[in-house]
Chains A and B, each alone.
Chain A
Amino acid sequence: MKDLFDKHKPIAERFERMMAMGTNAVGVTNERVLSPTRAVIGGRETILAGTNNYMGITFEPECIAAGKRALEEFGTGTTGSRIANGTYHLHRQLELDLAAFLGREHCIVFTTGYQANLGMLAGLAGPKDTIFLDADSHSSIYDGCTLSGAKLVRFRHNDANDLSKRLGRLEGEEGGRLVVLEGIYSMLGDRAPLEDFVEAKKRHGFQLLVDEAHSFGVLGTHGRGLADEAGLEQEVDFVVGTFSKSIGAIGGFGAGNHPMFDTLRYASRPYMFTASPSPSTVATANAALRRLAAEPERRVKIMKNSHRLFEGFKSLGLDLGCDTVSPVIAVKCPDEPSTIMMWNALLTGGVYVNIALPPGTPGKTCLLRCSVSAAHSDAEIDRIIALFGQVVADTHSPPMAVGL
């Protein structure tokens, strides 16, 4: 009998090699969480610089109070899907408030951000349609595309000409065409060149979905994301977002103006066949949305913090993921062992960042990925920069003690 786990031996060995170098970089446990930017890890107070907690909203008293109230009034869980017993007025209210915030006619709330992409993509596209997805798309987009059964065409990252070429090759095929982009790409922190893609849309005709997971709350005058920043919201047919970043909860949403948008509630399996998010989750998400809308200064602060970290890293001569400043700032490292070594040294020094290795990264790069929060103090940002400087110097200097 062939053991099903045999196929996982190569990744198990890779994991063993990482463990041999120190800490388990993919199994970090926060023993206590002290604030949006501080936690106790390995018994040590640590600055969090890899949480996607962009607005630093996770300990907002108003959000905590709303969550407690919902727990007491509605219980711990809904025990049902949205199309059965799992829709409470809290879910409906959040959908209405999100639609208003986004300036869209319709909005559907999903249980997680991952499911929001699964639900939107598999709901919109079917086996006769074609989805064109950016090469650097998040796994939830790849998985949603697979679930849809549509023909999947991958175009070169941020390259509207490459997309146009592929649209041209498949001209005249039956079925609809959906192009999927991200506002801010999660690994390198670069934005989609939306103007170029809107040009392509005018030339070729397709429906456009933008996943604003990392840009919602962060970019644009209203904090609605990249399309808001670029002034091109009218050209974007569908928006996807998550509550696990700027909103500081868990869940996701899809929104749009299509008159048949709500049909997705009866056509999208990831929406229909999972329990709805818990009352306290929905209540905290809604309270956080109100704070985002009422406090644009959070967006000013996060960009100020992002510039501070970006400039600090640049002055250290670090090779960064992209040249535009966003709250996602990735440091490119030479190879896997040195990345693991530096990640360990950062954690020991009291700074947590994300480690990102191929194939989870574009172009086989190894990354130490930082995400900035509006809640970071200048002193915390400066500490992150100083520690990176020290760790990089130590890693690249001749290993004096080794082999003596």
Chain B
Amino acid sequence: MSTTEATEASRAEIFDSICKLLSPFNYSGIELRPDTDISADLNIDSVTVMDFVMEVEDHFDIEIPLNVLSETRTMSDLVTVVEAGIRRSRLA
């Protein structure tokens, strides 16, 4: 398996995990796609987004500072942030 494939596989896994973690906050049952805007499309407020991200942090045992979060809009953005977090924690 090439490096690219491995990365893609883990992106898909991260996406699936995030979908599971997001389901209790997805009150209107919106279908989650990479380009779904977590706050706007799911109609959840900023505090709920922060609460959801705490679940993501604990699941992956990473830290996602609020500054990073403020620039994270879509599911795909969040996958990228989690990937970076996992990479950092492996280096540490």
Contacts and interface: CB of A to CB of B under 8 A. Distances in A.
A associates with B = yes
Interface of A: 130, 135, 145, 151-154, 156, 166, 169-172, 358-359, 362, 364
Interface stretch (B7-15, B30-38, B42-50, B73-81): B42-50
Given A169-B61, A169-B89, A172-B92, A154 B67 contact: no
B92 A154 contact: no
19 contacts: A130-B65, A135-B50, A135-B54, A145-B66, A152-B67, A153-B63, A153-B66, A154-B50, A154-B54, A156-B54, A166-B63, A169-B62, A170-B63, A172-B92, A358-B45, A358-B48, A359-B47, A359-B48, A362-B47
Chain B: interface size category: 10 to 19
Interface string B14-38: 0000000000000000000000000
Which 3 residue pairs of A and B lie closest in terms of their CB atoms, listed nearest first? A152-B66, A359-B45, A359-B47
Contacts of A172: 92
Most A Cβ at <10 Å: residue of B46, B47, B67:
B47
A130 B67 CA distance: 11
Interface of B: 45-48, 50-51, 54, 61-63, 65-67, 89, 92
B32 to A, nearest CB: 21
B38 to A, nearest CB: 15
Contacts of B92: 171-172
Contacts of A171: 92
A151 B69 CA distance: 11
Nearest to B65: A151
A10 to B, nearest CB: 8
Contacts of A362: 47
Given A169-B89, A172-B92, A153 B48 contact: no
Contacts of A154: 50, 54, 66
Contacts of B62: 169
A156 B65 CA distance: 14
